[in-house]
Chains A and B, each alone.
Chain A
């Protein structure tokens, strides 16, 4: 359990002094590196899911993008959390090559922009910025909850993070994983999978799955291992 964020209001933004602002640029670089590791480990699974309802390129595309992010961060970590996410998002847009490039790129860039130029941010501020980034993804894609997309993992994750005042990253992780699993019975309404109509039912969405990996990487960067104080769903693995 994290418990390190001390903002009693949980609101974060405009909080007093440095209270609770524990997340620095190194933390965000660690998040991106953890994400690159997870995507690398799970790339074959993502591609397998994408071969069921998509064009079988999600794992390779995501690995190419996050490998480039990892390499860039290995050379130089920007000074602020916002700058780390903005440069990582920019890298994804330029390297992924599929729809997940602009979608994840927009998620990270808008989240980073919302964090501004603070050198350290609180968990609550991160939750609020993530909400902004997720809303930008929804606007770009025209997708909503229940459309069998990455939003079905991201929205419950940010809900859980906000509900805990930005403290419970493990709960966000569990919510994202459960959200990804719950895309299985849904019918796709966006992207290539939507052409399949009812035949998209019965397959877990690859975008929601990679989004859950991104949230899991965030929890890992925060030091919250899987299942720890997840609140629910931690033992519901496939």
Chain B
């Protein structure tokens, strides 16, 4: 069973070193999903707008998109991935359940948001995002 039983949708947080990348990919994924209020948020850069990874911005975004159906986190590389893993290891910082999804950021975000908006649960959202790695371009 992969459909949510109610109106709760899986939240998706996009963690990037760059605020513009995170917010841009979030807008693109919501646009391609065709839903104005898609449960996706960017968590990019440091609070002052410079490049980096902010624990505060990640946790804030996760709480914002969480509606009780779980949260999928997609990250770009390096400190973004390490910070998410560290927060998950803390156990009490992020909404429950929250999962780091092993997926390419842009393609995975589109697959995740479309699946979430379509009513998929956290397993389905994660599987769709991870499957994006199999999309070959040549």
B51 contacts which chain A residues (CB < 8 A)?
55, 57
Q: Does B4 contact A (CB under 8 A)?
A: no
A101 contacts which chain B residues (CB < 8 A)?
53, 55, 79, 82-83, 86
Contact between A98 and B89, CB atoms less than 8 A apart: no
Among A102-110, A145-153, A209-217, which stretch is in contact with chain B? A102-110
Q: Does B52 contact A (CB under 8 A)?
A: yes
- Of B46, B85, B86, the residue contacting A97 (CB under 8 A) is B46
Contacts of B54-95 to chain A: CB distance below 8 A: 54-56, 78-79, 82-83, 85-87, 89-90
- A93-B78 in contact given A57-B52, A101-B53 (Cβ < 8 Å): no
- Of A98, A106, A141, the residue contacting B52 (CB under 8 A) is A98
* Smallest CB gap from B48: residue in A: A97
List the count of A-B residue pairs having beta carbons below 8 Å apart: 48
- A140-B79 in contact given A97-B46, A98-B52, A101-B53 (Cβ < 8 Å): no
Contact between B86 and A93, CB atoms less than 8 A apart: yes
Contact between B85 and A102, CB atoms less than 8 A apart: yes
Bound: A61/B82 CA distance, A: 15
- Of A90, A94, A99, A109, the residue contacting B79 (CB under 8 A) is A99
Contact between A191 and B55, CB atoms less than 8 A apart: no
Contact between A97 and B78, CB atoms less than 8 A apart: no
Bound: A94/B60 CA distance, A: 12
A98 contacts which chain B residues (CB < 8 A)?
52-53, 79
- Of A90, A109, A140, the residue contacting B82 (CB under 8 A) is A140
Q: Does A192 contact B (CB under 8 A)?
A: yes
Chain A interface size band reads 20 to 34
Contact between B82 and A102, CB atoms less than 8 A apart: yes
Q: Closest approach, in angstroms, between the C-beta of B87 and any C-beta of chain A? A: 8
Contact between A102 and B86, CB atoms less than 8 A apart: yes
Contact between B54 and A97, CB atoms less than 8 A apart: yes
Bound: A102/B88 CA distance, A: 11
B87 contacts which chain A residues (CB < 8 A)?
93
Contact between A192 and B83, CB atoms less than 8 A apart: no
Contact between A94 and B56, CB atoms less than 8 A apart: yes
B85 contacts which chain A residues (CB < 8 A)?
102, 140
Contacts of A132-183 to chain B: CB distance below 8 A: 140-141
Contact between A106 and B89, CB atoms less than 8 A apart: yes
Bound: A55/B50 CA distance, A: 13
A109 contacts which chain B residues (CB < 8 A)?
90
Bound: A191/B78 CA distance, A: 6
Bound: A53/B54 CA distance, A: 23
Contact between B89 and A93, CB atoms less than 8 A apart: no
Contact between B82 and A97, CB atoms less than 8 A apart: no
Contact between A106 and B55, CB atoms less than 8 A apart: no
- Of B46, B56, B79, the residue contacting A102 (CB under 8 A) is B79
Bound: A100/B52 CA distance, A: 11
Contact between A99 and B78, CB atoms less than 8 A apart: yes
* Smallest CB gap from B52: residue in A: A97
- 22 CB contacts below 8 A, A to B, read A55-B51, A57-B52, A61-B52, A90-B90, A93-B55, A93-B86, A93-B87, A94-B55, A97-B54, A98-B52, A99-B79, A100-B79, A101-B53, A101-B55, A102-B79, A102-B83, A103-B82, A106-B86, A140-B82, A140-B85, A140-B89, A192-B78
Task: Report, nearest first, the 8 A-B pairs whose CB atoms are least far apart.
Answer: A97-B52, A99-B79, A102-B86, A102-B82, A94-B55, A102-B83, A97-B46, A98-B79
Given A102-B83, A105-B86, A109-B90: 5 more A-B contacts, CB < 8 Å: A97-B79, A102-B85, A103-B82, A141-B82, A191-B78
